[in-house]
Amino acid sequence: MATLIIDAGETVPDMPGSRFGGLPLVPDGFDWPVCHTCKNLLQFVGQLDLPQWPDDVRLMAIFMCNSAPGTCETWSPITGANQALVFTGGLRPTAAPILLDAENELVRPATAVRLVSVEPAAGEDEDDEYWLSQMAWKARHQEEAPRVLGQFGGRPSWLQAPETPHCPSCYRPMTFAAQLEEHGANFGTGEAFAFHCIACHTGSFLWQC
């Protein structure tokens, strides 16, 4: 069974919990992250609230460079062209920095999500539970199926070879958190993968196409 992330329509930009776009909820002292390659501010992709995290962990906020698509290696978890920040403690909405270049959109309209557990459909590739669960969801709702935006937990449905990142603090393989479909952010028409280390409160992000 896969836990699908389902599009629940537009919402307010500072809605608590998981969503795409809007404004990130952040702790005191937060500085908007910067791309290590081009030095421009990163675009806020969305935030994830996963139930398996410890009580003191609130959200993972995902940011990715949008200033020069294709040049800053946003697909890699180690280049600094994206960041997955794990926040603890009290969080508050933050305002987006003012940009001189209006084309580099740092925030997008907020999209709410809901989680739905779906039994996978029968298929030849029994190991790809995410894909088979999407097929079951679409078959259940036919043409009126709300859009699937990804999955929480489970196993990643890699588009290329597996690329499970290692924690930058303890160097152990990180735990899969979520898989995200392209929804406003540029994943090269592919899909993104978020990971975290529960012990070290670190996150990692990459995409494949």
DSSP string, 72-91: S-TT-SSSSSEEEEEEES--
Cβ–Cβ under 8 Å, residues 178 and 152: yes
Q: How many C-beta neighbours within 10 Å does residue 175 have? A: 16
Question: Using DSSP, how many helices (H) and how many strands (E) does the chain show?
Answer: 1, 12
Give the model's pLDDT for residue 206. Answer: 98
Q: What contacts 184, CB < 8 A, 6 or more positions away? A: 20, 21, 45, 108, 111
Distance set, CA 205 to CA 5, 42, 70, 73, 97 (Å): 17, 13, 16, 12, 22
Give the model's pLDDT for residue 19. Answer: 96
Question: What gap in Å lies between CA 59 and CA 35, rounded to an integer?
Answer: 21
Question: What gap in Å lies between CA 181 and CA 65, rounded to an integer?
Answer: 17
State pLDDT tens for residues 47-105.
Answer: 999 766 666 667 999 999 988 777 899 999 999 999 999 998 789 988 878 664 555 67
Distance set, CA 209 to CA 91, 97, 193 (Å): 33, 30, 11
Give the model's pLDDT for residue 45. Answer: 95
Domain ranges of the chain: 2-152
Residue of 37, 15, 42, 165 lying closest to 97 (CA atoms): 42
Give the model's pLDDT for residue 98. Answer: 67
| pLDDT < 70 stretches in the chain | 51-57, 98-104, 123-126, 143
Give the model's pLDDT for residue 58. Answer: 73
